[in-house]
């Protein structure tokens, strides 16, 4: 089953607000994970949730909701701020 990432407008704004090098690194990682057949292998399920998974990109975290083959990005933030 192929998975794909979906961005909302708020996530696009969060991503645009990041430094260009960090933004490029995150987008490159998302494309890599999407190209693999099993991107969930690279993520970690969040404790206490059934459908939430996080991906690590350096000091930043990408939190997604798993909806079948769609990974809906909920938040992109620094590791200090993402779980608040």
* Residue 33, CB-side half-sphere exposure with 13 Å CA sphere: 24
Tokens linked to 80: 């200090």
Tokens linked to 66: 């798993």
Q: Is residue 65 part of a domain?
A: yes
Q: Is residue 84 part of a domain?
A: no
pLDDT digits (tens, 9 = 90+) for 25-74: 999 999 999 898 888 899 999 999 889 999 999 999 999 999 988 999 99
- What's the predicted TM-score (pTM) here? 0.88
Residues in the chain: 84
Q: Is residue 83 part of a domain?
A: no
Q: Is residue 46 part of a domain?
A: yes
pLDDT digits (tens, 9 = 90+) for 17-29: 999 999 999 999 9
Q: Is residue 10 part of a domain?
A: yes
Distance between CA atoms of residues 81 and 60, nearest Å: 9
Distance between CA atoms of residues 41 and 80, nearest Å: 23
Residue 37 domain boundaries: 4-78
Q: Is residue 37 part of a domain?
A: yes
**How many domains in the chain?**
1
CATH code (residue 23):
3.30.2310.20
């Amino acid at each position: 089953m192929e998975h794909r990432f979906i961005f909302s407008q708020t996530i696009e704004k969060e991503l645009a607000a990041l430094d260009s090098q960090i933004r490029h690194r995150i987008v490159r990682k998302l494309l890599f994970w999407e190209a693999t057949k099993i991107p969930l292998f690279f993520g970690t399920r969040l404790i206490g949730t059934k459908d939430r998974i996080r991906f690590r990109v350096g000091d930043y975290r990408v939190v997604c909701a798993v909806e079948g083959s769609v990974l809906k990005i909920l938040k992109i933030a620094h590791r200090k701020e993402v779980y608040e």
